[in-house]
Amino acid sequence: MFGLSFLALGLGVTSTMACTLQQVTSFGSNPTGVGMYICVPSKLAAKPAIIVAMHYCTGTAQAYYSGTQYSTLAETYGFIVIYPNAPTSGGCWDVHSTETLTHDAGGDSLGIASMVRYTISTYNADTSKVFMTGTSSGAMMTNVLAGAYPDLFVAGASFSGVPYGCFAGTSAWSSACATGTLIKTAQQWGDQVRAGYPGYTGTRPRLQEWHGTADTTLYYQNLVEANKQWSNVFGISLTKNNTNTPLSSYTQMVYGDGKQYVAYSAVGVGHTVPVRESDVLDWFGITGNLFPSNPSSTATVATTLKTSTVPATSTTSAPVTTSSVPSTGGTIAKYGQW
C-alpha cells in the first residue's frame, strides 16, 4: 500500500494560495531512501503535467517548496510538483555513482524515477508533460536524469549545475569538475550520456542550462562543457547569441532551432543563478508559444510572478564560441553551497 502523510508548511505573503506539501512514504523502488514530497493543486488538470523540483546541497524539499514559486503556480495551471528530499546528511544528491548514472540501476535517480512513475499512475498524469528542474546539486541531478531517464522526462531546466557524469567516480565530490578543469571533447561527453541508458533510441528531453560567469563553486567552464555535451547528443550546433535575454547582462545561446537545447550565460552572477520560474514554464510548454502543443496564456503567470528587473532590449548576434569565461567570484547567500 502507498502511504501518504500531510505536512502543511507556512509561506510568505503571496498573491495566490500555494498547494499543500504532502509526504508520500511508499512509492516504489527507492534503494537510497530519497524522501518524496508532493504538491497537488486544489484545481488539478484532467491530465496534469508533473514538475520535479530538486533542491541544492544543504537544502531540503521543504526549503525548495518555500523558496521557489512552483507551488503557487501549480494552483494557477493545475500541474503537480514533486519535491524530492536528498537522503544524505548534507542534503546533496548522488550524482557520481555508476548506479545513479545508469537507467534503473539504483542510486538517488532511481528513487526519483519511481516518484514520477507513482505520480503518473496515481493521478493519471500526462506522460508527454513530465519535467524536471533544480538548483546547484539539484541542477546536477537534472542533468543526471536527462541522461539516465530520457524515457520519463520531456524537458529540463538546470540552474548552476554540471554536465551529466562530470562527478562520476567513487567520491561524492569532484574538484576537477567543480573547478572546471575536467575538459572533454563533445563526442566524449555525448558518449557518456548515451552510456547512461544503453540502447535507448527514443526522444531526448529538451534542456535549458543557466550558469553565472562569476561562479566559484561550480565554475562557468561547466556550462561550456555542458554545451559540448548536449549539442553532441542532439546533433546540433550553436546558431546565434541573443544578448540581454531575458535580462540585462544575460546572453541566450541558441542551438539548432532553439527547441532542443538553449543555454544562458549570466555575466557577473555567482553561485547560483536565481530561479526564473516564468522562463522555465515557457520552456516546459506550460505557458508561452514556443511549444504550441501545450497552449496556455502567459498573462496570468506574468501577474503571478513578482519580478523587479525589466528585461533590456535584446539583440541577436552571430554565434561566438568561447572555451571559458574568467570567474571573478561571487555567491548568492541563499544558495551558497556546491
Catalytic residues: 136
> Are 73 and 118 contacting, i.e. CB atoms less than 8 angstroms apart?
no
Element (H, E) at 5: strand 4-6
How far from 167 is each of 1, 90, 108, 172, 218, CA to CA, in Å? 36, 17, 14, 7, 11
> Are 272 and 333 contacting, i.e. CB atoms less than 8 angstroms apart?
no
Alpha-carbon radius of gyration of the chain: 18
Enter the C-alpha cell of residue 153: 522526462
Element (H, E) at 63: helix 61-67
> Are 115 and 81 contacting, i.e. CB atoms less than 8 angstroms apart?
no
Give the residue from 22, 3, 21, 24 showing the smallest Cα distance to 11.
21
Q: Count Cβ neighbours within 10 Å for each residue of 144-153 and write b for 16 or more, e otherwise.
A: bbbbbbbbbb
Give the residue from 71, 266, 231 showing the smallest Cα distance to 159.
266
Beta bridge partners of 130: 50
Residue 235: left if φ>0, alpha if ψ -120 to 50, beta else—which one?
A: left
Q: Count Cβ neighbours within 10 Å for each residue of 180-206 and write b for 16 or more, e otherwise.
A: bebebebeebbebbbbbbeebeeebbb
Local structure of 189: helix, strand or coil: helix
> Are 2 and 122 contacting, i.e. CB atoms less than 8 angstroms apart?
yes
